[in-house]
């Protein structure tokens, strides 16, 4: 049976003392293309945001004579790979007094890991990705960690080809082949999050069907640092039912480092993979930010994505980091499409979010949004 441990730093400040390394899994960089097809489904349920979105849609419809196709738009997180890796590494070193291993997993891209190796040939950063896997009318995400550097690009070609033409039998072949590489770790990311809005019951049926067919090649189920404890608790139960370990995954997109990490006695990422795959050992540590308000943390992440970054030429404004594929196939930034700062109502919304940069405002919101949470299984 898997041996997984769950720890909470606010309960035991010395919990890391018995371990050798901290491992940060599942975080995103500027190379992660975050599709915006979900936006209208979520945003229309948010007061204030809904009005902004509808006004923008009406303006687009009036100007172009058709509906805005969100599936042709995507945004990218602000941090480049070196800064994202340094952020995760610094948290583990400063908070836990441990050396760090960091695996960056951008959506359907390994550019971050490749860039770290180009910039530093001695880098030990794993080459990893978060693969979007279409299933039925929805999708799931698999964290593929530590691809062999010589074959990583070829593996991404295989993933993209399968995504373009999904085939259940071919998926089994790919996962089996990944499992045959001892140093590769395959994680089912946030398995119970109905991200595709298929419906709770339909999504869980899809997850169970996937695990029935492919679970032998999945090495762990993720406890996600940006999902509520009630959902993570269900993942723990699912993992126990499936005889799989649970593992950390912060899912960071902004400047807040991952809210959970793994603790290990391994010195290298390959040794850590062996602990999870062979020994079925996984020690997950939730960090203090996870004990805060999830709503406020999500708002702060949104504010991070919308603030200016003068240190990143060409990506200073948030509209420089949102892209749209035009009818002619060419890709343009929102800045170029707007020819300026954009509609006033959108600028006002951005300004409202930037108020969160005030420590006093964050403190007030944190107190207002605080709620009692019981971290028990």
Compute the distance between CA of residue 242 and CA of residue 192 in angstroms, rounded to an integer.
14
Q: Residue 1's pLDDT is what?
A: 43
User: Is the domain covering 3-32+77-291 a CATH 2.40.50.100 domain?
Assistant: no
CA angle 105–300–311, rounded 5-degree value: 70
Q: Residue 370's pLDDT is what?
A: 64
List residues bridging with 285 in a β-sheet.
7, 261
User: Of 373 and 164, which is predicted with more confidence?
Assistant: 164
Compute the distance between CA of residue 286 and CA of residue 173 in angstroms, rounded to an integer.
35
Q: 190, exposed or middle or buried, with CB in 10 Å at 0-12, 13-18, 19+?
A: buried
Mean pLDDT on 279-293: 96
Q: Is the pLDDT of residue 264 over 70?
A: yes
Place of tokens 């590494």: 89
Q: Residue 283's pLDDT is what?
A: 97
Q: Residue 24's pLDDT is what?
A: 98
Mean pLDDT on 5-10: 96
CA 234 to chain centre: 19
Q: Write the pLDDT tens digit of every residue in 170-226.
A: 999 999 999 999 999 999 999 999 998 889 999 999 999 999 999 999 999 999 999
Compute the distance between CA of residue 212 and CA of residue 374 in angstroms, rounded to an integer.
31
Average pLDDT, the chain: 88
Q: Is the pLDDT of residue 127 over 70?
A: yes
- 21-25 vs 100-103, strand pairing mode: parallel
pLDDT band at 137 (very low <50, low <70, confident <90, very high): confident
Compute the distance between CA of residue 233 and CA of residue 245 in angstroms, rounded to an integer.
13
Q: Is the pLDDT of residue 38 over 60?
A: no
Tokens of 322: 């949102």
Q: Write the pLDDT tens digit of every residue in 230-262.
A: 999 999 999 999 999 999 999 999 999 999 999
pLDDT band at 267 (very low <50, low <70, confident <90, very high): very high
Q: 109, exposed or middle or buried, with CB in 10 Å at 0-12, 13-18, 19+?
A: buried
Tokens of 294: 């999830």
Q: For the beta carbon of residue 123, count every other beta carbon within 10 angstroms.
A: 15
pLDDT band at 65 (very low <50, low <70, confident <90, very high): confident
Ranking 129-138, 254-263, 341-350 by mean pLDDT, the lowest is: 341-350
Find, among 92, 84, 87, 82, the residue nearest to 22 by Cα. 92
Q: Write the pLDDT tens digit of every residue in 41-57.
A: 555 555 555 666 677 66
Domain segments of the chain as ranges: 3-32+77-291, 34-75+295-369
Tokens of 267: 């010195």
Find, among 148, 151, 155, the residue nearest to 174 by Cα. 155
List residues bridging with 8 in a β-sheet.
286
Sheet architecture: strand order including 129-135: 129-135, 138-145, 185-189, 220-224, 246-249
Classified as helix, coil or strand, 299 is: helix
Ranking 162-171, 290-299, 337-346 by mean pLDDT, the lowest is: 337-346
Compute the distance between CA of residue 89 and CA of residue 123 in angstroms, rounded to an integer.
13
5-28: string of b/e by CB count within 10 Å (b at 16+)? ebbbbeeeeebbeebebbbbbbbb
Q: Write the pLDDT tens digit of every residue in 68-105.
A: 676 788 889 999 999 999 999 999 999 999 999 999 99
């Amino acid at each position: 049976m898997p041996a997984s441990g769950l720890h909470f730093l606010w309960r035991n400040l010395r919990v890391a003392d018995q371990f050798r390394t901290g491992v940060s899994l599942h975080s995103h960089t500027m190379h992660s293309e975050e599709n915006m097809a979900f936006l209208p489904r979520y945003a229309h349920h948010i007061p204030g945001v809904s009005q902004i979105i509808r006004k923008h849609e009406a303006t687009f419809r009036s100007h172009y004579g058709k509906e805005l196709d969100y599936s042709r738009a995507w945004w990218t997180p602000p941090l480049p790979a070196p800064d994202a890796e340094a952020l995760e590494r610094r948290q583990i070193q400063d908070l836990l007094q441990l050396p760090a291993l960091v695996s960056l997993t951008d959506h359907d891209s390994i550019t971050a890991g490749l860039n770290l190796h180009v910039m530093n040939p001695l880098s030990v950063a794993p080459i990893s990705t978060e693969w979007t896997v279409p299933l039925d009318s929805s999708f799931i995400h698999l964290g593929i960690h530590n691809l062999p550097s010589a074959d990583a690009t070829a593996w991404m070609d295989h993933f993209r080809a399968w995504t373009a033409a999904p085939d259940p039998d071919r998926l089994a072949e790919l996962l089996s082949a990944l499992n045959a590489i001892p140093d590769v770790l395959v994680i089912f990311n946030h398995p119970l999050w109905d991200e595709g809005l298929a419906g709770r019951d339909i999504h869980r049926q899809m997850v169970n069907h996937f695990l029935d067919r492919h679970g032998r090649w999945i090495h762990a189920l993720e406890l996600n640092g940006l999902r509520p404890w009630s959902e993570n608790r269900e993942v723990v139960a699912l993992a126990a039912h499936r005889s799989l370990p649970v593992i950390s995954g912060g899912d960071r997109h902004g400047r807040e480092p991952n809210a959970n990490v793994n603790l290990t006695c391994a010195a290298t990422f390959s040794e850590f993979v062996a602990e999870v795959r062979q020994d079925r050992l996984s020690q997950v540590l939730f960090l203090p930010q996870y004990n805060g308000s999830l709503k406020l943390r999500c708002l702060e992440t949104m504010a991070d994505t919308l603030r200016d970054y003068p240190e990143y030429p060409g990506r200073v404004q948030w509209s420089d980091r949102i892209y749209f594929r035009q009818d002619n196939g060419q890709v343009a930034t929102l800045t170029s499409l707007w020819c300026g700062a954009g509609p006033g109502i959108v600028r006002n919304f951005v300004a409202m979010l930037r108020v969160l940069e005030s420590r006093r405002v964050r403190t007030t919101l944190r107190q207002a949004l605080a709620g009692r949470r019981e971290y028990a299984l």
